[in-house]
Structure 1
Amino acid sequence: MKKISVKLAVAFIILILLSSLLSFLTSAVYMPNLQQEIKESQEAIGILIKDLSEKTDLSNEEISDIISWYTYETSILTHEEEAYINEQEYLILLDGGMIHKPFRRFSGVSTYLMIDDDIMRIQLRQNQNIWKIAASRIWFPGISFVIIGSVLIIFVVRHAVRPIIKLTNATREITLGNFDVEINYNNKDEIGQLTTNFNRMINELKKIDTLRKDFVSNVSHEFKTPIASIQGFAQLLQQDDLSDENRKEYARIISEESSRLSHLTSSMLKLSKLENQEIIQKHKGFYLDEQIRKCILLLEPEWSKKSIDWEINLDRAMITADEELLQQVWINLLINAIKFSSNDGKIIVSLNHLKEGVEISIRDFGKGMSSKTKERIFEKFYQGEEAHDVEGSGLGLSLVKRILDLHGAQINVESSLGEGSEFSVTLNIN
């Protein structure tokens, strides 16, 4: 396969050759200066012939032989050839003047003068024409131009395609799975823009690769733990001397771990579906405050165990959105608030109108989280140190973030260790 640098160099050299050839043809055909130069040269030869005739005893034939040289030839017209001279031209010759008549094609003109009774003709030799004269004058500059131009073009092309070669090598590395490549090219031209976007693409691919590896690792861990528990307790249930109390306890654990696996699988499927969804498909008008109250009631079994006290301040708000998806948001946020609240704790839920929408705030006074945890809470499967002793899969907040992104909403988190957390969601009304 030919390199692009070779193709470009050959193309440019061919263009130089064609342009040089066309330039030569144009110059030879449309070169009035060369035509005039031929006339002037022949007139100078004619003056020289007259001087030799006047100042020497040489015959016209001898003068013709002497004057004829490499480029021009001088001859005496025969009686038949003199017939081509008309009367007016003949008078000019008798008066000592010179006349010019067209010669062969691309051979310029012939110059005529009269010496004694002979009409002499000065013209280009048979083997000479305008093409040869033009070529003799421009062949060296032309060849030099082609050679120098070709060398410069090869140098320029090699320099121009260098970043493309780097891009090719970098692409090859990416196909091998190596994302630790970067192309340094600081020009602002099209190739510079291409390399800039290419570097951005590499960085994004590197992030995606890191997320993929983390995802596989986390999924493996999340599935491995409950599966190992189910397998272990299932083996214990096979013992003949197992007491009824232990048998029920082991069956309960297996049921809980199975539910955990089912919940984890369901959450992963929902998140996968949402990540491949770009627009909200179900737009419906509903009262947001009523939806949040229903979510709190649905979770009564959870917060009743901890005797959670609620402070609810919800303004009346009608919005248009996907009701089912937003319900998932409030349930996940409320479940987190309940999980991390202590017994007899308190949760504050508020809904306030803003200029262009509404703000929903869910505040708990539980464990809180560190700044490091707060930066990563929306990552898939991430669970901070504060959550290790609390049941969960690390997918709930990832679902929340994706659903809110689809609605064009914003979520903000304020939290400190030992002081609880506050999640604030800003939604457009329409």
Structure 2
Amino acid sequence: MRKLSLKLGIIFFITLFCIETFMMFFLHVSLTNSRVEEELASLQARGNSHRTVLEQNFNEETLAHVVLMESNESTDVVVTDYEGTILVSSQPDLEISDMIHKIEGKIPYEGRILQDDWQEVQAIATISPIQNQQRTIGYVFMFQNTDSIHALMKRLNKHFLIVGLVSGLVTIAVIIVLSRKLAKPLIQMKEATLKMSKGDFTVALSTNGKDELGDLSNAIQLLSNDLNHLRHERKEFLSSIAHELRTPLTFIKGYTDILSKRDLTEQDRQKYLAIIIEETNRLSRLIKDLFDLAKMDENSFVIEQQNVHLNSFFTNIEKKLSPAFQEKGIHFIVRYEEGLTVWADEARLEQILINLLNNALIYCASGDTTSVTAKKHNDVLSIIVQDTGKGIPKKDLPYIFERFYRVEKSRSRALGGSGLGLAIVKELVQAHGGEVKVSSEINKGTTFELSFKGVETDENHFMH
């Protein structure tokens, strides 16, 4: 937690510090230059004002009056003639001879700044020419000590330092809050993934965010839910396998012990052998179904598709299963359009229908009806397996294609299979690129509808 929030905090602080430093430096320079320009403009205006007075009366009385005006101010005035000879000065000790001799070129009537480098010189200075009938007769030099400017800059620097410290503390506080706020969901996600890596999938993350962190949180939460569901399914799967394997093995072992330890009549011996054979076949079918599902999960299950003629296919289905339905007193009907062909694996297609019809055989009673109908709509083959048996409760319909799921919770052997038949049906249909749907009502029956693309009504080879 500290590492992540510290890294985020350092990044934010460096970024904001650079921005604030640049802005404060720019503001400081702007204020300083603006203030110095104001002082120079004021000094120049004061010199021009004295120049105007002297142009009206350029005599000793006026000169004295100008000096008197500056004697109580923070500025000083020096008046010279055209040759540079000092006529009057408000500061006798002021040394301006070097500056006077350095004046070059014509001085404009609005005056000129002589010294503005307040950091290097003792005083800033301006010059204003005194004219009489368009002829320069003297100059007014204005001086202002830079101590006041330096004092102003010190106060300004002090204020900037205070503002900088306050803004720095506020920035640090904001960064701490923001970095923790940003780091908190990431830390929660890290802790959630650590819990998941240890097999604990009871993760509860906030999924209200609409940004990338929210998307990541949603993805981790979804992954946790899926893994939790898979773990539950795995436990159920292993429990179901153990139960399904234990039942036939128990029968086989029990009747084998009876045959080996008791003197039995030939009739009893044959009866027990028949049970052992039946349970062995049951165990063999279960193992075969498990291998098929394992291959499907690994995508190593091969579907060998070819052009299947449905006339002969359904005729074969009817021959194989009619005796079983007749024995139980169930009406078995097969209907199909003539001349249909479909691109499919014939053996797997037969396995699909046999699994569905076996279910109908188990859950139908004498007098019920089971029908198989095949028809074409556009290029889609629909195979409908419908029965009038006991039906499936509505609450169980979403789960009947799950492995080892049984509507009959008692797992009665009289009601049949291992709970893998419909799971295999769904996998095989999807392997053909098809779709399976189911609808059912209690005591009215169940309908399975299979849809396969790639059906034709002629003998041409058709691939979808």
Q: Contact 2:40 / 2:126 at 8 angstroms: preserved in 1?
A: no
Distance 1:284 1:107 in 2: 103
Q: Which residue of 2 aligns with 1:141?
A: 163
Quote the Cα distance in structure 1 between the aligned partners of 2:291 and 2:424: 10
Once residues 132 and 305 of structure 1 are traced to their aligned partners in structure 2, the CA distance between those partners, rounded to angstroms, is: 112
Is 1:219 the counterpart of 2:241? The answer is: yes
Match of 1:398 among 413, 417, 423: 423
User: TM-score w.r.t. structure 1 length?
Assistant: 0.77
5+ residue gaps, structure 1, are 65-73
Match of residue 111 from structure 1: 125
Structure 1 Cα separation of the partners of residues 4 and 187 of structure 2: 9
Q: Which residue of 2 aligns with 1:86?
A: 104
Per the alignment, in what secondary structure is the counterpart of residue 383 of structure 1? Answer: coil
Aligned to 1:154: 176
The aligned counterpart of 2:40 is: 39
1:158-173 correspondence runs (5 A): 158-173=180-195
Q: What is the identity, as a one-letter code, of the residue corresponding to 2:362? A: K
Provide the residue aligned with 1:14 in structure 2. 14
User: Residue 409 of structure 1 aligns to which amino acid in structure 2?
Assistant: E
**2:102 partner SS:** coil
What letter corresponds to residue 225 of structure 1 in structure 2? T
Structure 1, residues 22-43: CA drift from partner, whole Å, max 9, x if none? 2234345566524413524665
How far, CA to CA, are the matches of 1:98 and 1:364 in structure 2? 111
CA deviations over 1:306-352 (Å, ceiling 9, x no partner): 46543222113333344443222112112222333445764322123
Rate the CA distance shift 1:147–1:242 in 2: closer, same or farther, 3 A. same
Q: How does 1:169-208 map to 2 (within 5 A)?
A: 169-208=191-230
Deviations along 1:232-259, one digit per CA (max 9) or x if unpaired, are 2333333264544444443333332222
How far does residue 218 in structure 1 lie from its aligned partner after superposition?
A: 0.7
Letter of the 1:376 counterpart: Y
Corresponding residue for 2:458? Answer: none
Find the partner of 1:99 among 109, 113, 119: 113
Q: Which amino acid aligns with 2:377?
A: L
8 Å contact 2:76–2:142 — kept in the other structure?
Answer: no
Superposition deviation, residue 222 in structure 1: 0.6
Task: Give distance in 2, aligned partners of 1:278 and 1:129.
Answer: 88
Are the aligned partners of 1:75 and 1:120 in contact in 2 as well (CA < 8 Å)?
A: no
The structure having more radius of gyration, on CA atoms, is 2
Distance 1:375 1:79, change over 3 A: closer
Separation of aligned partners in 1, 2:403 and 2:376: 31
What is the match of residue 68 of structure 2? Answer: 55
In the superposition, the TM-score normalised over structure 2's length comes to 0.72
**AA matched with 1:111:** A
Measured after TM superposition, the shift of residue 399 of structure 1 is: 0.8
Q: Distance in 2 between matches of 1:123 and 1:87?
A: 26
1:199-232 Cα shifts (integer Å, max 9, x gaps): 3333333322222221111111111111222222
Note the C-alpha offset of 1:355: 4.9
Q: Point out the more displaced range, 311-320 or 257-266.
A: 311-320
Match of 1:3 in 2: 3
* Alpha-carbon distance, 1:357 to partner: 2.4
1:77/1:120 contact within 8 Å kept: no
Cα separation, partners in 2 of 1:233 and 1:343, compared to 1, 3 Å: same
Question: Structure 1 CA distance, aligned partners of 2:64 and 2:393?
Answer: 114
> Could you say which residue in structure 1 is the equivalent of 2:87?
none
Offset at residue 156 of structure 1 (A): 3.0
**Does the aligned pair in 1 maintain the 2:437–2:448 contact within 8 Å?**
yes
Gaps of 5+ in 2: 51-62, 78-91, 129-137, 455-463
Contact 1:286 / 1:323 at 8 angstroms: preserved in 2? yes
State the distance in 2 between where 1:188 and 1:421 align.
44
What percentage of residue pairs aligned between the two structures are identical? 25
